[in-house]
Structure 1
Amino acid sequence: MKKRQLVLEDGTTFVGTAFGSREASVGEVVFNTGMTGYQEILSDPSYCGQIVTMTYPLIGNYGINRDDFETITPSIHGLIVKEVCDTPSNFRNEETLDSYLKANNIPGIAGIDTRKLTRIIRKHGTMKAVFTSIDDSIEGALATIARTPVITNQVEQVSTVKPYVVPGRGHRIVLVDFGMKHGILRELTKRNCHITVVPYHYSAESILRLKPDGVMLTNGPGDPKSVQEAIEMIKDIVKKVPIFGICLGHQLLALACGADTEKLTFGHRGSNHPVKDLIVNKTYMTSQNHGYAVTRESLQKTDLQLTQVALNDQTVEGIQHKKFPAFSVQYHPESSPGPEDTNQLFDQFLTTINMHQTTTKEETTCLSVQI
């Protein structure tokens, strides 16, 4: 098979076997520690613009199936593995990883030392890289990286263009799509919610016109501070309707309430991250995919309460508003495969909606009696 190079922006070069698309591609190199779930990773919009290194050595052994996609069109810029399996064995398998990557113009490289690459990222942080032909010069590859701008509009690339409805008989939820995983829709439809999915830049006025019982802020890629439209929208609705944020939605809620965010050295990406719930004093295993986090110290000047922390590095994993019915988590409670310890957060969201409706009704009744 044809050889391929992976060149990092610091000049470090790895030579391996090409699979997937043969096109050159530039992206930010990150690593994921999950043993399974490569299909979900490939189709997760939160990886928009990134080249993902899988730390588990064998990838592709159960193939690709029709059921485990998180979106229709993948946004990942490349895949790096130690060994790729060309003969998958699974009763749901429908095609190989290689054929899926070819069909979606995603390049891959196999046969490199992924442990060494991961150690570099852990030490120096995420960095840009490019896939090139074995015949291309390192100088040319570095020039390609240098003239390729850093993507800052990832959310715009992966968000829905127009609103659409997923009908249900239960609570009416407006889901703001910043790069939504289908797993979030699955959990809400499982609970019979009537869901209206809207673009990332939908205004507060337009959202409130839909008369939602609650608003879901989804996951998504990139720096939360680049989505200023959403921050302003959240500022306007947080006093008026219950909110549940996941991943990027969690960071946007924090920014809208006066907290700050920061970029992590190499981020959290995997399905085995322990998180402690400070309210109930329990620890959960979670699935995570984020390169930014809410700055813990910045919560002190806000009306946000810290509810959950990562046990690996004590970063913020959960917050809730002290005055309004709004809460969020940094990890993915809808994630599968992976732990489903925190799946009940969707039930908590619906309970919050019920409590808000009851309180609002009682306040309206009291006001009527006084009048």
Structure 2
Amino acid sequence: MLDAYLALEDGRVIEARGRAPGRTRGELVFTTAYTGYEESLTDPSYEEQVLTFSYPLIGNYGVRNERFESERVHPRAAIAREFTDEIVEWFDHEDVPAIDHIDTRELVTSIREEGAMNCGIAVGPDVTPADAKAELDECINMSEHVDIGKRVTTVEHTTYGDMDAETDVALIDCGAKMSIVDSLTHKGAAVHVLPYDTTSEVLTDLDPDLLFISNGPGDPANFKAAQTLVEEYTGEIPIAGICLGQQVVARALGGTTEKMNFGHRGVNQPVRDLDSGKVVMTTQNHGYTVGDPGEILNVCQINVNDGTAEGLLNRDLDVVTRQYHPEAHPGPHDSFGFFDEVLEMTEPDADSKTATSSDHAVVVDN
């Protein structure tokens, strides 16, 4: 029998059932997704966080490697009302502490009211509340993880897709989900996945048709190399970004970013396109957002719930970004059309096209 304690930044210590042993710490966040737990747990954007599932039963359809977004589990620990034995075996294999038999409804409400908070977790046969508090005392804020990109990026240049493809995409891996790579290769592109600290000299030698900044964890201010690439190549080649990628692009082109209270994490976030009026349901996982887009980029999509920027655009410079995850693993497929729009910017007659949000959407009367 494993004891388990969760120490919160607000001073509370919560007793739980220990499922997978270990001691760790991180930023406590939650997701509202009720399926796709394999994709969520292997999403590099959860690095240095403790993931709480709001859906009560996690693991009910097993664990399959083909659903993974990366090679490992990224949250420092996992919390649910109840985990199945099969998913607990996975946590054991990954050395990821896990706890359940906890009132996740109350925990999620606390995060919504107080914001994402630091926490410490201790799980084992003889752990005490003091052990969890000790972990909490060592926890640092997300903005202080200045080298977080190093822990989630590719080690070396890796190419996916047809090497003879007409379109070469340079994907800067700040913590990319494999579904982004798959979405681009399925459209016929060759995708060159490059480390997060790739230099302009490497990009010049590669001579890609498109620069794509991926999703990733933490504060976008800590991804300065990717920001430099955007600064240097804007106007030279088309540029796209997803999630953290949108934030990096915004910062590079004169915008600002800010930390959200508890972020957007789930598969049911409504996004309105300002040009067409259409609303799509989207998959999201981010704790930072674009505050001021600056004078170069225009906000083309917004979150229906809170008005935050979900899409940025400059047609003249061939720059387009999304705060949500158009590849939608897990989640609804409303926004798959984004990858068509991005690749259209690389075509010879791209000037005659528009990078609007023509995603396959349903018009919602608000």
2:104 corresponds to:
114
Task: Spell out, residue by residue over 1:218-263, the C-alpha distance to the aligned partner (whole angstroms, 9 max, x if none).
Answer: 1000000011121112100111000110000010000000000000
**Pairwise CA RMSD:** 1.6
**Matched positions, count:** 346
1:362 corresponds to:
none
How far 1:133 moved relative to its partner? Answer: 4.2
Moved more, 163-172 or 109-118: 163-172
How far 1:167 moved relative to its partner? Answer: 3.6
1:85 corresponds to:
84
How far 1:138 moved relative to its partner? Answer: 3.4
Q: Give the 3 Å change call, closer, same or farther, for CA 74–192 of structure 1 in structure 2.
A: same
* Matched residue SS, 1:276: strand
TM-score by length of 2: 0.91
* Matched residue SS, 2:208: coil
1:149 corresponds to:
140
How far 1:85 moved relative to its partner? Answer: 2.2
* Matched residue SS, 2:154: coil
What does 1:168-317 correspond to in 2, within 5 Å? 168=162, 169-295=165-291, 298-299=292-293, 301-317=294-310
Percent identity of the aligned residues?
A: 36
Answer yes or no: is the 8 Å Cα contact 1:306–1:320 preserved in 2: yes
**For residues 350 and 332 of structure 2, what CA distance do their matches in structure 1 show?**
32
**For residues 219 and 247 of structure 2, what CA distance do their matches in structure 1 show?**
9
Tell me whether 1:124 sits opposite 2:114 in the alignment.
yes
**For residues 358 and 29 of structure 1, what CA distance do their matches in structure 2 show?**
45
1:23 corresponds to:
22
**For residues 27 and 205 of structure 1, what CA distance do their matches in structure 2 show?**
36
Counterpart amino acid of residue 161 in structure 1:
V
* Matched residue SS, 1:122: helix
Task: Spell out, residue by residue over 1:64-109, the C-alpha distance to the aligned partner (whole angstroms, 9 max, x if none).
Answer: 01210000122210110001123xxxxxxxxx21111111111111
* Matched residue SS, 2:249: helix
Answer yes or no: is the 8 Å Cα contact 1:172–1:214 preserved in 2: yes
Answer yes or no: is the 8 Å Cα contact 2:54–2:104 preserved in 1: yes
Answer yes or no: is the 8 Å Cα contact 1:251–1:293 preserved in 2: yes
What does 1:24-173 correspond to in 2, within 5 Å? 24-86=23-85, 96-133=86-123, 135-150=126-141, 151-168=145-162, 169-173=165-169
How far 1:141 moved relative to its partner? Answer: 3.0
Q: Give the 3 Å change call, closer, same or farther, for CA 358–262 of structure 1 in structure 2.
A: closer
Task: Spell out, residue by residue over 1:275-295, the C-alpha distance to the aligned partner (whole angstroms, 9 max, x if none).
Answer: 001122100000000000000
Answer yes or no: is the 8 Å Cα contact 1:305–1:322 preserved in 2: no
Answer yes or no: is the 8 Å Cα contact 2:282–2:324 preserved in 1: yes
* Matched residue SS, 2:67: coil
* Matched residue SS, 1:112: coil
TM-score by length of 1: 0.90
Answer yes or no: is the 8 Å Cα contact 2:4–2:127 preserved in 1: no
**For residues 338 and 92 of structure 2, what CA distance do their matches in structure 1 show?**
37
**For residues 8 and 219 of structure 1, what CA distance do their matches in structure 2 show?**
28
**For residues 13 and 117 of structure 2, what CA distance do their matches in structure 1 show?**
13
Counterpart amino acid of residue 331 in structure 2:
G
Task: Spell out, residue by residue over 1:17-74, the C-alpha distance to the aligned partner (whole angstroms, 9 max, x if none).
Answer: 1113x11111111000001011001100000011100001111100101210000122
Structure 2: where are the runs of 5+ without partners? Answer: 353-366
